[in-house]
Amino acid sequence: MGSLGYLLDLGMRYLFSCLAIFGFYVIGMGQELCRPVELRCEYLDSPLGIDEVHPRLGWKLKDGRQGARQLAYEVVVGVDSLLVERGGAGGVWTSGRKLSAAQLVSYEGPALKPWTRYYWRVIVWDKDGKKGALPGVASFETGMMGMANWRGAWISDSRDIRTGPAAYFRKPFRMGKKVRSARAYIAAAGLYELYINGEKVGDHRLDPMYTRFDRRNLYVDYDITGYLQQGDNAVGVLLGNGWYNMQSTAVWYFHEAPWRGRPCFCMDIRISYDDGSVETIVSGKDWKTSLSPIVFNSIYTGEHVDDRRQQAGWNRPGFNDSAWKEVVFRSAPSDNVVAQVLPPIRDVEKITPVSVKQLSDTVWVYDLGRNIAGVSELRVQGPAGTRLRLVHGERLYPNGHVDQSNISVHYRPVGDGDPFQTDIYTLSGKGEEVFKPLMGYKGFQYVEVVSSSPGVVLGANSLTGWFMHSDVGPVGRIESSDTLVNRLWSATNNSYLSNLMGYPTDCPQREKNGWTGDAHIAVETGLYNFNGIKVYEKWMADHRDEQQPNGVLPSIVPTDGWGYEWGNGPDWTSTIALIPWNVYLFYGDSRLLENCYDNIRRYVDRIDERGDNGVSSTGLTDWGLGDWIPVTTKPPVEFTSTVYFYADASILAKAAGLLGKKEDEKKYLALAEKIKKVFNGKYLDSTKGVYGSGLQTEQCMPLYWGLVPAEMKARVAASLAHRVQADGNHLNVGLLGTKALLSALSENGYADLAYTVATQRTYPSWGWWIVNGATTLYENWPIDAKSDISMNHIMFGEIGAWLFKGLGGILPDAGEPGFRHILLRPHFAKGLEELRASHDCPYGEIVSSWKTVGGKIVYTAVVPPGATAELELPWKKVGLTAGTYEFRQP
C-alpha cells in the first residue's frame, strides 16, 4: 500500500472506530483488499491421496471491513503452478466467474488423473464488486483413484493368527537416477509402521484407522521424496494386529471377528525421476520377513517387547537378511481400498508426571496428574533380561498401587499372559533403552512400573505420558470468570479427544468401542471445539458399511457383528441421521447428508415398520435402552426412543427437501407429524403442561427436540423448572436427559437456572466430578459408583456444547447453515461476570463475549467476513453484517 493509501486507511479506521451506529459501536475495521485465505481441499491443507471424484475446495476471506463479503468467485485448477499463479486459466478447469457468495465448491472439471498434483486458486470479488487480492496457490494431489491402479500384492508372513510376535518385512532396492518426487501408497489389514532407510515415515500413529476390514480398507499416501537416497535404499514395514487380529478376549468377541487374520499389507512406491521416467516398487514375492522384538501386541490390552530380539539395521540397506523368510501372497481383505484422508492419530501432547512414588525396590507409581488416552514412554537402564510390567489405570488403591477394577470388568482373559492395560518390556541391558508401544493405546492417569528384580534405576524423568488422539484442529474456546466453567470445558475436551481415534469411542480403556449413542450426544461438543468433519465423514462411511439390508444398524460401529441385537434402537443409532445433520449445520456442506440419505431413510423405515412385522407402526417405538445411567429416575423407554424416532423422521424430511426429493419430504413430514401427535396424545397432560410422570427427562426432551405444541411450551418449561427446583437445582437425568436439559432450560426462559445446574459443585452434577479432582468426564454420577464408572467417558459431554449454545449463544441457522447466518443469543447468567466464547466457523472466527462493568453488561460480537448474524440481547434485537461490535447495556 502506498503512503497515501496508508494515511487514508488510518483515517478510515479512526472514523469507523468513532462511529456510533444505532447506539452501538462498530470497532476495529481495517481497509485491506479482500483476500481469500486458508484454501483447503477436502477440509485439509494441500492433502495427498485424494480419491474423491469431485473434491471440495473451500476458502475463507480476510477482509476487515464492515459488511465484508464475497459477491463472486472464480476457481481455477491446473497442473502447472505458474499458470495457476498468474490467475489465468489453469489449464484443467475453471469454474468461470460465478455471481455467488459460496466459499465451498466442488471440483466439476474433467476426470482427475491418479497420482497427479493439481494446483488451484480462487479469485474473489468483494462486497463492492472489486477484484480481491490473489491468494497463494494451493494444491491437492490425487491418490490411486480406484482399485484398478494398484500394482502391488497383498503379502504377509505365513504364520498363524495366534503367533505372538509382530512381523517385519523388508525390501532393498537401488536407485541410479535423480529423484524428482516419490510417493508411498500403503494399505494394511492390521496396523503398520513404515520405514525408509531406517527412518520412520511420517508422524501418524495407529495407521490405518479402524474400519470394517472385510468391507473397506484404508490406504495412506506419503511423500517420501526426502527419505530416499541415490544408490542403495531399503524399505521396511512392521505389522501389528490392531482390531484386525484381536488377541484379547472380552465380552464383545472381537477375537472371533469374521475378518480376523494375520496382518497383511499392500504397497506401491511410485518414484518419478528427473528424466521423466517413473518406477514403481511394489509389495510382492521379492520381500522378506522375520519376527520383530514385539513379542505380543493387542490394541485392547498392551504390548510386550523383548529388546534382546532387536535386529539392528533391519530397515536399512546393507542388512544381512539371509536368515529371513519368504513372504506369502494373501487375498485382499476387501475389494474396496480407499484413501485415508483425514487428520491422523498422533502423539499430540507430551505429559510429564507430577509425581513418582517408589513403593519398594521393584515398584514405582507415576502420576501424570491428568487422565488421558495414549501411551507411556519409558527410559531405563538395567541388567539384560529384567522384565518390567507397566500397569496403566485411572485410580489408585489406598495402598498406592494402581487399581484397574473400574475398567477391567469386561475383560475375559485366558491365562495370565495378557494382563489388562499392561505393557511388558524385557531389557537388552545395552545402556539406556527407550520403550514406547507402537501398536495400541490405553486410558490412564497412573502407571505402575514393576520390575522382575531389583537393579533397575527409575527416576522422576524416566516416564513420559503421550496424549494420543485424532489430531483434529481446535476451533472453539471458552474462557470465563468462573473457574469451574473453564475446568468443565477443558475436561469435556479431554474426554472428547481421548475418545477420538479415527472413530468416536465411549472410553479409551474398558471398551474402545464406537458406541453410537455416546457419539451423537457429543457431536455438537465436538464440532464447536474441533474441526472434526473428516473424522465424522469416515465414521459415517463405517455406518454405511454396517447397515443391514433391512435398515438395521449396530449399536457399535465398526463391529464384528456384536450390537445388531442390543442397544441399537433410535436412542443410540440415530447417529445415522443426527451426525450428518449436525455436520450440515456446522459446515453448510450437504455432501455427508447426501451420502447417507438412503441409509437414514432405511433406518427410519425400519423403526416405522418394526412395530408389527413390516406394518406401519403406531408412531411409537420402544426399541432402545432408554435414559442410560440416570441419577435416580428413568422414563419408559418408549418415551425416549419415540423422541429420537421423531428427530430422525424430521431430519429425513428436511434432508429430502434439501435434496429435492419432494415425495419423500411429504411422506416423512407426515410421519414426523404423526409421531408427534401420537406421542403428545399419550404422554402430554395438556391441562397441567406435564409430560409423563413429570420427570426432568420427560419435560426437557420434548422441549429440546421440538415435540411440544407451541401453545404449551411455556407451561412445559415451567414444569421442567419446577421439577429441577424440587430436585434441589440439581440434574436428575441420564445421558438422553443431559442432552436436552440445559438447553431446554436456557432456550425457554430459565437461563439462570441452567447455569446453576451446570455449575453445581455438589452431587449429582458435572461439577461434583471436577471438585473431586476429575480432569475428564465420568461415566456415572457418584464418583464411587460400584459399576459403570469409567473415568474418561464422553457420554455426558453435552455440557461442552451448552457452554457455546446456552451461555455464549452461538448457534447455526439451518436456513443458512455453516454459520453463514449466525444466531447470537447470549445468556448473561446471573453470577457469571465474564465470558468469551469463540468458534472458528467456515467463514472465520465468531466471538460472543461479555464482561460486567459497573453492574452493566458490555457485550462484544465478532461476525466473520461472508457471514451475517441476528443478535438477540435482552434489551435489543439487531441484524449484523461482518464486523466487530460492542453493545452496552442501557
Please give the residue ranges that form the binding site for ligand BGC (CB under 6 A).
Answer: 506-507, 511, 515, 517-518, 567, 625, 628, 793, 795
Q: How far is CA 820 from CA 803, 814, 826, in A?
A: 21, 10, 18
Q: Which is nearer to ligand BGC, 552 or 847 (CB)?
A: 552
Give least dist CB 441 to ligand BGC, A.
17
Taking alpha carbons only, the member of 261, 283, 279 closest to residue 270 is 279
Q: Which residue is nearest to ligand BGC (CB)?
A: 506
Give least dist CB 640 to ligand BGC, A.
13
CB burial of 674-695 (b: ≥16 within 10 Å; e: otherwise) equals: bbbebbbebbbeeeebbbbebb
Q: Which is nearer to ligand BGC, 504 or 808 (CB)?
A: 504
**What is the Cβ-side half-sphere exposure of residue 736, based on CA atoms within 13 angstroms?**
34
Give least dist CB 675 to ligand BGC, A.
24
Give least dist CB 210 to ligand BGC, A.
17
Single-letter amino acid code for the residue at 242 = G
Q: Which is nearer to ligand BGC, 653 or 735 (CB)?
A: 735
Taking alpha carbons only, the member of 528, 538, 473 closest to residue 504 is 538
Q: Which is nearer to ligand BGC, 233 or 406 (CB)?
A: 406
Q: Write out the three cell numbers for 184.
A: 508411498
Give least dist CB 772 to ligand BGC, A.
21
DSSP 186-235: EEEESEEEEEETTEEPSS-BSBSPP--TTT-EEEEEEE-GGG--SEEEEE
Give least dist CB 206 to ligand BGC, A.
20
Give least dist CB 628 to ligand BGC, A.
5
Give least dist CB 701 to ligand BGC, A.
17
Give least dist CB 567 to ligand BGC, A.
5
Q: How far is CA 344 from CA 151, 341, 877, in A?
A: 25, 8, 43
Pairing of strands 402-403, 294-298: unpaired
- The answer to whether the beta carbons of residues 625 and 569 sit under 8 Å apart is yes
Single-letter amino acid code for the residue at 422 = T
Q: Which is nearer to ligand BGC, 357 or 410 (CB)?
A: 410
Residues 348 and 628: their CA atoms lie apart, in Å, by 32
Q: Which is nearer to ligand BGC, 506 or 698 (CB)?
A: 506
Phi, psi for residue 878 in degrees, rounded to 5: -150, 145
CB burial of 393-407 (b: ≥16 within 10 Å; e: otherwise) equals: bbbbeeeebbbbebb
Q: Which is nearer to ligand BGC, 496 or 683 (CB)?
A: 496
- The answer to whether the beta carbons of residues 539 and 545 sit under 8 Å apart is no
Give least dist CB 290 to ligand BGC, A.
39
Residues 357 and 348: their CA atoms lie apart, in Å, by 26
- The answer to whether the beta carbons of residues 468 and 375 sit under 8 Å apart is yes
Residues 837 and 14: their CA atoms lie apart, in Å, by 27
Give least dist CB 174 to ligand BGC, A.
52
Q: Which is nearer to ligand BGC, 192 or 515 (CB)?
A: 515
User: How does DSSP classify residue 535?
Assistant: H
Give residue for cell 457452554.
803
Q: Which is nearer to ligand BGC, 142 or 780 (CB)?
A: 780
Residues 624 and 739: their CA atoms lie apart, in Å, by 16
Give least dist CB 491 to ligand BGC, A.
17
- The answer to whether the beta carbons of residues 806 and 742 sit under 8 Å apart is yes
Q: Which is nearer to ligand BGC, 499 or 881 (CB)?
A: 499
Q: Give the burial class of 104: count Cβ atoms within 10 A of its Cβ; 0-12 exposed, 13-18 middle, 19 or more buried.
A: middle
Beta-bridged to residue 465, according to DSSP, are 351, 376
Give least dist CB 738 to ligand BGC, A.
13
Residues 226 and 108: their CA atoms lie apart, in Å, by 33
Residues 513 and 516: their CA atoms lie apart, in Å, by 9
CB burial of 499-509 (b: ≥16 within 10 Å; e: otherwise) equals: bbbbbbbbbbb
Q: Which is nearer to ligand BGC, 287 or 562 (CB)?
A: 562
Q: Which is nearer to ligand BGC, 513 or 529 (CB)?
A: 513
Give least dist CB 521 to ligand BGC, A.
9
Q: Which is nearer to ligand BGC, 515 or 623 (CB)?
A: 515
Q: Which is nearer to ligand BGC, 288 or 520 (CB)?
A: 520
Residues 403 and 286: their CA atoms lie apart, in Å, by 49
Give least dist CB 513 to ligand BGC, A.
7
Helix (H) or strand (E) holding 594: helix 591-610
Q: Which is nearer to ligand BGC, 353 or 554 (CB)?
A: 554
Q: Please, which residues have CB within 8 angstroms of residue 322's CB and are 6 or more apart in sequence?
A: none
3-state SS class at 456: coil
Give least dist CB 583 to ligand BGC, A.
21
Q: Which is nearer to ligand BGC, 607 or 791 (CB)?
A: 791
Give least dist CB 570 to ligand BGC, A.
14
Q: Which is nearer to ligand BGC, 287 or 444 (CB)?
A: 444
Degrees to nearest 5, angle at CA 484 with 482 and 489:
105
DSSP 604-634: HHHHHHHTBTTB---S----S--S-S-SS--
CB burial of 769-796 (b: ≥16 within 10 Å; e: otherwise) equals: bbeeebbbbbbbbebeeeeebbbbbbbb
Give least dist CB 791 to ligand BGC, A.
12
Q: Which is nearer to ligand BGC, 84 or 794 (CB)?
A: 794
Give residue for cell 426437557.
700
